[in-house]
């Protein structure tokens, strides 16, 4: 709901009300838009505007050594005002929202209130139609989303700034974006135009951000900002694995279940910039938007520039509640198309099983092994197109390699379909290999500075997506590929960071727009292809999670979270993604051991259980697995299918223990929307001897409902006990011997059984004291064998 209140001077105050939060701002006596409040919902009485008076900072005189705004307002110094839009040159010396260079070389701008209008999301869409940017949306009748459009004018410079605030009441989310229009008769240069600014008086200086690198995505870090600036930005051309655009600002004591925090994200897939600055008066300014580094945009008279949409969400109940608000926002208002609510299939991907060494025979054998254990979709990864035997060639030449696929994609997809499995494939459409036919024909389609040496990245170059002809080539070539067989799924990869940024298509004066125009070109292509192929399930990928953001999710409903499939690493990576993204958008695969990224050995059950808290897939050579592993996988997939709706679309809760970075255990719980079914994970990193007691504490159950709590029936392999088995065996069993091998096929030992009925409140508040773990002092069938990297999955079903 949007509430407008007029003060005694008839200046408007704006309040954006969601179910549990309020965002307030007003027009000041100088005409500037002042930020008043963002936090837990407060009552706004339109009949009694004076009841909002406590929100206003009183000003009697300007702080020492500051510039005052003008002669008429000697008490107002812009450096000490909470603003919705900070600009340069009028006394505000903090991170600006906008930076414009005018024809005379000056950079001072000053925006004051002009008008406002409440518009529908449809109307907002019409306004932004030509922006080419993805944005949040609302399905008619599912949510009461409204948009407030506030128009500011820079009267001396003839610039208009339109601010859009969209309110998603049910999920407690507010989004912001802006449009700058040049009404002057000279061109101006835009050096910075951000999406959101939040000036806070409360102490939100505990920053949670997610940094990383390839295979180490989403490393959650917290720092407390006492003074100066903190910057979270990318300059890779993508949203990047170095620093995800999602961040949280929290109070010092905010934790999983308690305290205030604000989550911020950006619906954008290119270079982003988030800065947090603590000013000299203890206030905090947060800004977010396109990275201004190397960015510039010329605005000719009457031209305009649109910024990506920023997403803000406040929670008074800690990080857990904040995550669930963002999960429902992303599921409802970002992800779209037929896959929005459709259960995602369990897939088998060929990459780690075969890498580039694929051919039809091998693929069919693998798909057949997948079909036998219940796989629903088979994905042919890299290596299928002409001449692609390693990563040095062929990107751009999207024809099947006749040596590998003699019957092409049509024949392969048909044969795979005959196995009862859907077919999907990998592409990397934004790239061109120097060693390709496409490069020979169109060297000018690659991004490069003519006549300059070029830096390398996986032996490939970026296509110049600023060029409409190149965009059309990508659309046409992909349309041909996607129509060449029965293709149900596409993995859209992107494996190169930007270097030597230059578009041969754009004139010199527009090179400052190259990185942004690339992203707009990409969005145009994605929009076109997802419209042409609405039934295909698209999965985004960029060397794993190098482009994991809300821009991609506006077109593709899921993203490959990381090339790292090690179960231990994945607990951290997936736990971190869950702060800002729902489980239905990140994919997770069970792979072979020793793991290909870490050489670590983790139990097959743990690999499955961790990957289940994401969109489950497999990525290993099933043909080489033992019969017992294949049986285990068959059971895993059947179990996942039974609980898939809860895993993929339930409410997700992190255990309180996950918060400490040195915690030896981790727990997750997914609860069905009606609260009557839940599934949980309990995981231990390293085992401690002689310490056998563990508690699993589910979260999110209905307190007064009785649940049947149970685990899986577990059988232990004799080999799991090593030579300890000789303490009970009548004959000596040598480790690694044929005898051990034979016995292990026939002798299975029963694992512990968890089975009880209790109220939700008891389960949540007291936790479940699990059967004692093996701790070096004995074993019977009530013992939980829990070596390093072990986990258990538990189920809770309402019994009344």
Closest to ligand DGJ by CB, 84 vs 563, is 563
User: What are residue 618's DSSP bridge partners?
Assistant: 348, 590
User: What are residue 286's DSSP bridge partners?
Assistant: 198, 276
In whole angstroms, give the CA distance from residue 393 to residue 698.
50
Give burial (CB, 10 Å; 0-12/13-18/19+) of 443: middle
Residue 430 Cβ, how far from ligand DGJ at the closest point, in Å?
Answer: 13
Residue 264 is encoded by which pair of tokens? 């911020």
Active-site residue, from 110, 172, 382, 493: 493
Residue 351 Cβ, how far from ligand DGJ at the closest point, in Å?
Answer: 5
Give burial (CB, 10 Å; 0-12/13-18/19+) of 141: exposed
Among the listed residues 109, 208, 247, 345, the one whose alpha carbon sits nearest the alpha carbon of residue 661: 208
Residue 355 Cβ, how far from ligand DGJ at the closest point, in Å?
Answer: 8
Residue 560 Cβ, how far from ligand DGJ at the closest point, in Å?
Answer: 6
Residue 546 Cβ, how far from ligand DGJ at the closest point, in Å?
Answer: 8
Closest to ligand DGJ by CB, 314 vs 482, is 482
Residue 587 Cβ, how far from ligand DGJ at the closest point, in Å?
Answer: 10
What CA–CA distances, in Å, run from 740 to 193, 676, 722? Answer: 68, 44, 9
Closest to ligand DGJ by CB, 137 vs 560, is 560
Closest to ligand DGJ by CB, 425 vs 763, is 425
Active-site residue, from 80, 143, 563, 694: 563
Residues 6+ apart with CB under 8 A from 774: 692, 783, 784, 785, 786, 787
- Chain position whose Cβ is nearest to ligand DGJ: 382
* Exposure letters 517-528 (e unless 16+ CB within 10 A, then b): bbbbbbbbbbeb
In whole angstroms, give the CA distance from residue 551 to residue 561.
15
End-to-end CA distance of the chain: 38
Closest to ligand DGJ by CB, 355 vs 779, is 355
Residue 783 Cβ, how far from ligand DGJ at the closest point, in Å?
Answer: 39
Cβ-contact 709, 695 below 8 angstroms: no
Among the listed residues 87, 209, 221, the one whose alpha carbon sits nearest the alpha carbon of residue 159: 87
Binding stretches for ligand DGJ (CB under 6 A) = 351, 381-382, 426, 493, 495, 541, 543-544, 560, 563
Residue 434 Cβ, how far from ligand DGJ at the closest point, in Å?
Answer: 17
Q: Is 382 a catalytic residue?
A: no
Residue 624: other Cβ atoms inside 10 A: 10
Closest to ligand DGJ by CB, 273 vs 560, is 560
Closest to ligand DGJ by CB, 95 vs 381, is 381
Residue 254 Cβ, how far from ligand DGJ at the closest point, in Å?
Answer: 34
In whole angstroms, give the CA distance from residue 421 to residue 526.
26
Secondary structure (DSSP) of 580-635: HS-GGGEEEEEE-SS-TTT-----HHHHHHHHHSSEEEEES-GGGS-HHHHHHHHH
How many helices (H) and strands (E) the chain has is answered by: 14, 40
Residue 491 Cβ, how far from ligand DGJ at the closest point, in Å?
Answer: 6
User: What are residue 715's DSSP bridge partners?
Assistant: 750
Closest to ligand DGJ by CB, 326 vs 395, is 395
Closest to ligand DGJ by CB, 482 vs 560, is 560
Residue 459 Cβ, how far from ligand DGJ at the closest point, in Å?
Answer: 11
Closest to ligand DGJ by CB, 110 vs 382, is 382
In whole angstroms, give the CA distance from residue 490 to residue 446.
24
Cβ-contact 69, 83 below 8 angstroms: no
In whole angstroms, give the CA distance from residue 536 to residue 345.
12
Among the listed residues 711, 788, 724, 789, the one whose alpha carbon sits nearest the alpha carbon of residue 751: 711
DSSP E strand stretches across 226-334: 228-233, 243-250, 261-266, 272-278, 284-290, 297-299, 304-306, 310-315
Closest to ligand DGJ by CB, 247 vs 377, is 377
Q: Is 185 a catalytic residue?
A: no
Contacts 24+ apart (CB under 8 A), 139-142: 139/332, 142/332
Closest to ligand DGJ by CB, 548 vs 640, is 548
Residue in the structure block whose two tokens are 């930076």: 99
What CA–CA distances, in Å, run from 296 to 269, 419, 514, 537, 680? Answer: 18, 54, 9, 36, 49
C-alpha dihedral, 655 to 661 to 666 to 671, nearest 10°: 30
Residue 204 Cβ, how far from ligand DGJ at the closest point, in Å?
Answer: 35
Give me the helices (H) in 85-171, please.
Answer: 121-128
Instruction: List the catalytic residues.
Output: 493, 563
């Amino acid at each position: 709901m949007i509430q407008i209140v007029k003060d005694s001077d008839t200046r408007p105050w704006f309040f954006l009300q969601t179910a549990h939060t309020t965002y307030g701002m007003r027009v000041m006596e100088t005409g500037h838009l002042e930020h008043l409040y963002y936090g837990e919902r407060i009552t706004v009485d339109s009949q009694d505007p004076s009841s909002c008076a406590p929100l206003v900072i009183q000003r009697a005189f300007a702080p020492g050594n500051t510039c005052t705004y003008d002669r008429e307002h000697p008490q107002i110094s812009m450096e000490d005002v909470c603003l919705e839009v900070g600009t340069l040159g009028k006394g505000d010396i903090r991170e600006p929202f906008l930076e414009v260079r005018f024809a005379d070389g000056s950079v001072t701008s000053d925006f004051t209130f002009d008008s406002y209008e409440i518009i529908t999301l449809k109307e907002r869409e019409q306004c932004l139609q030509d922006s080419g940017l993805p944005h949040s949306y609302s399905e008619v009748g599912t949510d009461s989303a409204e948009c407030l459009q506030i128009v500011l004018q820079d009267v001396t410079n003839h610039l208009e700034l339109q601010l859009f605030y969209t309110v998603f009441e049910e999920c407690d989310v507010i989004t912001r974006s802006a449009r700058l229009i040049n009404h002057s008769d000279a061109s101006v240069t835009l050096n910075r135009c951000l999406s959101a600014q939040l000036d806070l008086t409360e102490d939100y200086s505990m920053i949670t951000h997610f940094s990383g690198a390839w295979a180490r995505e989403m490393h959650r870090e917290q720092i407390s900002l006492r003074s100066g600036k903190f910057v979270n930005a990318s300059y890779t051309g993508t949203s990047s694995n170095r620093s995800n655009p999602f961040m949280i600002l929290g109070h010092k004591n905010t934790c999983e279940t308690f305290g205030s925090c604000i989550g911020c994200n950006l619906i954008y897939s290119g270079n982003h910039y988030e800065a947090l600055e603590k000013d000299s008066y203890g206030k905090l300014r947060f800004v977010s938007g396109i990275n201004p580094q190397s960015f510039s945009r010329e605005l000719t008279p009457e031209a305009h520039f649109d910024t990506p949409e920023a997403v803000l969400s406040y929670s008074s109940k800690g990080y857990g509640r904040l995550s669930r608000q963002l999960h429902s926002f992303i599921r409802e208002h970002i992800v779209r198309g037929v896959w929005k609510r459709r259960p995602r299939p369990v897939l088998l991907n060929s990459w780690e099983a075969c890498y580039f060494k694929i051919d039809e025979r091998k693929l069919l054998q693998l798909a057949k092994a997948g079909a036998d254990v219940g796989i629903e979709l088979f994905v042919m990864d890299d290596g299928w197109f002409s001449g692609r035997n390693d990563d040095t060639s062929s990107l751009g030449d999207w024809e099947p390699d006749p040596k590998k696929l003699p019957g092409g994609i049509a024949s392969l997809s048909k044969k795979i379909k005959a196995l009862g499995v859907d077919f999907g494939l990998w592409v990397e459409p934004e790239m061109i290999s120097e060693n390709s036919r496409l490069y020979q024909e169109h060297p000018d389609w690659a991004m490069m500075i003519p006549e300059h040496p070029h830096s390398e990245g996986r032996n490939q170059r970026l296509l110049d997506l600023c060029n409409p002809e190149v965009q059309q080539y990508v659309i046409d070539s992909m349309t041909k590929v996607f129509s060449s067989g029965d293709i149900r799924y596409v993995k859209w990869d992107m494996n190169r960071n930007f270097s030597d940024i230059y578009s041969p298509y754009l004139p010199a004066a527009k090179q400052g727009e190259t990185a942004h125009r690339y992203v707009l070109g990409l969005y145009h292509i994605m929009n076109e292809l997802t419209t042409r192929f609405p039934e295909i399930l698209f999965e985004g990928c960029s060397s794993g999670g190098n482009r994991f953001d809300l821009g991609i999710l506006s077109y593709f409903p899921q993203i490959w979270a990381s090339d790292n499939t090690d179960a231990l690493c994945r607990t951290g990576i997936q736990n971190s993604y869950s702060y800002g993204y729902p489980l239905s958008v990140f994919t997770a695969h069970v792979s072979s051991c020793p793991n290909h990224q870490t050489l670590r050995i983790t139990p097959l059950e743990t690999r499955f259980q961790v990957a289940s808290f994401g969109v489950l897939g497999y990525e290993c050579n099933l043909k080489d697995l033992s019969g017992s592993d294949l049986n285990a996988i068959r059971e895993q997939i059947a179990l996942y299918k039974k609980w898939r709706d809860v895993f993929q679309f339930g409410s997700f809760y992190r255990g309180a223990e996950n918060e400490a970075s040195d915690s030896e255990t981790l727990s997750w719980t997914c609860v069905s929307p009606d609260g009557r079914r839940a599934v949980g994970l309990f995981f231990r990193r390293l085992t401690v001897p002689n310490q056998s007691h563990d508690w699993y504490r589910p979260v999110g159950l209905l307190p007064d409902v009785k649940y049947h709590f149970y685990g899986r029936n577990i059988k232990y392999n004799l080999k799991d006990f090593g030579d300890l088995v000789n303490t009970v065996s009548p004959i000596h069993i040598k480790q690694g011997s044929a005898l051990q091998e034979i016995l292990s096929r026939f002798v299975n030992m029963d694992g512990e059984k968890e089975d009880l009925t209790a109220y939700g409140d008891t389960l949540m508040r007291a936790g479940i004291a699990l059967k004692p773990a093996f701790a070096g002092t004995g074993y019977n069938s009530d013992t939980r064998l829990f070596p390093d990297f072990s986990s258990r999955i538990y189920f809770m079903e309402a019994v009344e």
